[in-house]
A = this chain, B = another copy of it.
Amino acid sequence: MTKKDNHSRGLGRPTMNDVAKTAGVSPVSVSRVINNHPSVKEGTKTLVRNAMQKLGYFPNAAAQAMRTNKTDTIGVIITDIANSANGHILQGAEEVCNNADKLMIATSSGFDINRESQLIDHMQRRRVDGIILQTGHEESEELHQMIKNCTVPIVVLDRDLPFEIDSVKCEHYHAAREAVGLLISLGHRRIGMIAAEMTTRPGHDRVKGYRDELESANIPLDETLIRAGSHLSEHGYHETISLLSSDNPPTALFAGGNHLQIGALKAIKALNKKIPDDLSFIGADEATVSALYTPPITTINRDMRLLGKKAAELLLSRINKSISDEVRNTLLPSEVILRSSCALLKKG
């Protein structure tokens, strides 16, 4: 019994050596069968395959990774995995990765900056071939450093970072302008704006679109109508309650985020206000509820699956070095879908 014969000694899983022994060939032949090397006789192939079958052999990915310095794995770090919008991103990315024979592994940070750092760390230790990152902390200096120092390619998902880096983003600014413009064209002058963190693209750009559109319509800005700060449903709920129960409530409301929209709709329901009679309403990123709501809700939509796909494609190209070295920033469109939640402002 030789030194390396772990398996027959009952310790641990079968290795290439065990398979080789069982098949009566050398370990090299086993390796060649595994990797579909051309020069191996058909007879040997089946010999090896049978042995693998018999022993229940699985190649050890860690050993392979160490030897080849590749893992064929793409790591994805998402803020909130329970958000179905992110689910669609993951679905899109996974489809592309599958087709490229890469395993996509998804993790989520829960918007926790420490967790985010840990996950980038994890991915690097595991030597993933590349990372798709949706940070929840665009502004963190620490994170910028981590990203800059990262030893594997990163594609950033719908975030603005203050340095050059591959990214795929969605258009938020013009869509927000279009949404607000629609409300203005219906006669609304007091338009409430509920937004996510200003340190995050969807929050920042949508608020900017709101401001610019009002300005270009010569409507004086009332800062108290802008309620930015969190992407959470609770934020949408409380700020909507606050806005609608104020002395001079808005006649229209724009909720720039799927959870925010849910929260806002709950608040509107709780206050027993009717859309669009008491209040015109525009939401964002929430396809299902918007279509089914009574009345159906006008909303800004974007193709999250496409976002995931584009990010994965860009990352794979970067990994394969099949594109030039210069940084790529892809911008995907948003679309305003008109439904019946917006009405002409009633005079008086």
- Chain A residues at the B interface, C-beta cutoff of 8 Å: 12-13, 56, 58-66, 69, 71, 80-84, 86-88, 90-91, 94, 98, 103-108, 110, 115, 121-122, 124-127, 149, 151, 262, 265-266, 269, 288-289, 291-294, 305
Contacts of A60 in B (CB 8 A): 66, 125, 127
- Verify B125–A59 contact, CB threshold 8 A: yes
Which residue in chain B gives the minimum CB-CB distance to A119? B103
Contacts of A269 in B (CB 8 A): 292
28 pairs, A vs B, C-beta closer than 8 Å? A58-B124, A58-B125, A60-B66, A60-B125, A60-B127, A61-B62, A61-B126, A62-B65, A63-B66, A64-B125, A66-B66, A81-B106, A82-B84, A82-B88, A82-B90, A82-B91, A83-B84, A87-B87, A90-B108, A91-B110, A98-B115, A104-B107, A105-B107, A265-B292, A266-B292, A292-B293, A293-B293, A294-B294
Which residue in chain B gives the minimum CB-CB distance to A83? B87
Contacts of A87 in B (CB 8 A): 81-84, 86-87
User: How many protomers of this protein does the assembly include?
Assistant: 2
- Verify A62–B56 contact, CB threshold 8 A: no
Which residue in chain B gives the minimum CB-CB distance to A13? B151
Which residue in chain B gives the minimum CB-CB distance to A90? B81
Contacts of A294 in B (CB 8 A): 293-294
